[in-house]
Amino acid sequence: MTVPTTAAPPNRIQLRVLFPTVDDGRYPVKRCVGDVVHVGCDVFRDGHDLLRTVVRWRGPGDADWQEADMVAVDAHYKGVRWEGRFPVDRQGRWEFGVQSWTDRFATWRDEFRRKVEGGQQDLSGELSEGILLLREAQDAAPAGEDRDRLARAIALIEDPATGETVRNGVALDEHLAMAVERHAARVDPTDLPEPLAVEVDRVRARFGSWYELFPRSFGGLKGVEAQLPRLAELGFDVLYLPPIHPIGRKNRKGRNTPDFPGGNPVAAPDEPGSPWAIGAAEGGHDAVHPELGTIDDVRSLCSRASEYGIDIALDMAIQCSADHPWLTEHPEWFNRRPDGTLKYAENPPKKYQDIYNLNWDTPAWRELWEELRRMTLQWVDCGVKVFRVDNPHTKPFPFWEWLIREVHAVDRDVIFLAEAFTRRSVMRQLAKIGFTQSYTYFTWKTSRWDLMEYVNELAHGPEKEYFRPNFFANTPDILHESLVHGGPPMFTARLVLAGTLSPTYGIYSGYENFENEAVRPGSEEYRDSEKYVIKQRSLDGPLLPFVERFNRIRRENPALQELSNITFLETENEGLIAYAKRTGDNLVICVVSLDAHHGQEGVANIPAHLGTPPAFRVHDLITDEWHEWRIGRNYVHLWPPTRMAHIFRVEGW
């Protein structure tokens, strides 16, 4: 290795182990408007010189950087670990970095102080060094209080009539040190090679309550619009609609039965088909099924929903029926066998005879991407603020990164939810490249240990910086056996778990009616699945009063609107799970039974580090009861069917 040829010697300050980052800065971390970004960095150099370190940041479109001091927080490493923070107050991509430099005056002052305290005599040489540093700061300071203070200090130190004690006191004066700090040159300033990014979204990206329904079961889009006042009363923030486009007729699927759990491959003439088999003579992904309404009805629905504070989420399923116009207009977008036939979609053992996938490797891929961009922006123009993306893991990552960026350039409010129940690394990558939220494995996590392990990974592991979970308790495709066998008590328990473990959760229509009949034993498919039939729905299920109260509890308690603030509690019973969430002075303690058939007794063991007084009162927000609790073991008893959970708020502390 040759000696560097730069005019100045290489920087001696090291910046290491920076947080928050995703893949060492390759992807942005995620925050929401109003958040404070906490930044940490190991900052050190050779020798014993003291350092100063700041966090620097700028918002989207800003030319100038702002900065704030970072503080050395880890005495064990003698000030190696530095921490700081900055607020983010608007959406978009923010940049931040860390800068550190050698603080020559602080280094001199520290050494001088130790010599004075050690009784060392004749420190005139040391004072001459200090005066040089004071003069440099004086020259840099504008006219005003600091410049005058520096001039007075220099005069006193240099005045032969000044006694040694006074001279030393002036040199070590705290206010003088602060004045120097404000104006001294930054020596050997060291920055990160490149700034890091923070993607800042609206709060709905982190916190919300979703409700999924099939418009055709509510009388079409106008019928859905009529439900908005009630949905708002129930406390839902996002209304998610499966595909609303024309449905293909060729290979249309009929009602699912035990013999055909994935839908009968031969539909009766009056059966409506699956909404995910998109495309017919009436149009494709940019059209509305005539029996549901028109594009103007979509505009009306979105506009009215916004008046109630509700976002409309539209399913984005990039796949085609055999009748989709693209098959004739753009045959180059599809894969064909050597004999010219198309292969329908499969996910063994499931077969989707009514669906054909696109060829993402087509030479005409640019035209395909542009058409999908046009289609997406059409719905954004109609007022759609959320896209629930079907199976994004089967499409190219670069496409999603590009599409999300293109849409956000038009409307930064748009949220993308990744429906990808697949390998963990693939789900993580989708979140890294831009998906706002992600479906999770929550539906299959039913034991205390599984829930604790999984939520701790999401809340406290590396994923907390970029992976925002959406805990759906059920979906049209997923009826978990815990609901099949647990009945109404388990529906209540899973609702509470979904909406208190995760800031964002969802339920699919029918949950409030305790629908739990599987198409056959061991299957997660609903019998008479709404994917293949039209049902007559209304918002009148017996669970809805509890849902309304539950969503109000979530809105009134900021602690339930975050993920990384969770602490699991010891229960001394595997049939119970308990956890606490704290944001500021809002502390909520949840205890949930995992047993739908038997009463369960145990404790909620409150650790001292939660910060409560030794004894305190808790208010059960579900039952409106009050209890006296304390740090340590607190008795709890839950039983089906009437009491499956406690949501306690700590009061008066």
What was the pLDDT predicted at 652?
A: 85
Domains of the chain (ranges, CATH numbers): 13-101 (2.60.40.10), 105-183 (1.20.58)
Q: Which residues fall within 8 angstroms of residue 16, CB to CB, at 6 or more apart?
A: 41, 42, 43, 44
Contact, 536 vs 217, CB < 8 A? yes
Of 103, 212, 225, 390, catalytic: 390
- Pick from 243, 232, 323: nearest CA to 276: 243
Angle at the Cα of 460 from the Cα atoms of 554 and 611, rounded to 5 degrees: 65
What was the pLDDT predicted at 351?
A: 80
What was the pLDDT predicted at 352?
A: 84
- Pick from 633, 649, 630: nearest CA to 590: 649
For 555, the token pair is: 């809105």
Reported pTM: 0.94
Residues forming beta bridges with residue 592, ordered by sequence position:
577, 645
Of 311, 419, 530, 595, catalytic: 419
What was the pLDDT predicted at 75?
A: 60
What are the residue ranges in the chain where pLDDT is below 50?
Answer: none
How would you label 617-632 residue by residue, b for 16+ Cβ within 10 Å and e otherwise?
Answer: ebebbbeeeeeebebe
Spatial distance between the Cα atoms of 283 and 289, rounded to a whole number of angstroms: 8
Query: DSSP class of residue 2?
Result: P
CB-based contacts of 152-160 (< 8 A; 24+ apart in sequence): 157/127, 157/130, 157/131, 158/131
Q: Is 419 one of the catalytic residues?
A: yes
Cis? peptide before 545, omega within 30° of 0:
no
How far is residue 48 from each of residues 53, 102, 335, measured CA to CA in Å? 16, 10, 66
Contact, 274 vs 534, CB < 8 A? no
Strand pairing category for 29-32 and 196-201: parallel
Q: Which residues fall within 8 angstroms of residue 51, CB to CB, at 6 or more apart?
A: 13, 43, 44, 45, 79, 100, 101, 102, 103
Q: What is the dihedral of CA 319, 323, 324, 330, to 10 degrees?
A: 110
For 319-366, give the DSSP string: -B-TT-THHHH-GGGB-B-TTSPBPEEEETTEEEEEEE-B-TT-TTHH
Spatial distance between the Cα atoms of 144 and 149, rounded to a whole number of angstroms: 9
pLDDT tens digit sequence for 298-320? 999 999 999 999 999 999 999 99
Query: DSSP class of residue 391?
Result: S
- Pick from 237, 212, 239, 211: nearest CA to 225: 239
Residue 216, helix vs strand vs coil: helix
What was the pLDDT predicted at 342?
A: 80
Angle at the Cα of 427 from the Cα atoms of 426 and 430, rounded to 5 degrees: 85
What was the pLDDT predicted at 86?
A: 98
What was the pLDDT predicted at 335?
A: 87
Greatest Cα-to-Cα distance within the chain, rounded to the nearest angstrom: 109
Q: Is 390 one of the catalytic residues?
A: yes
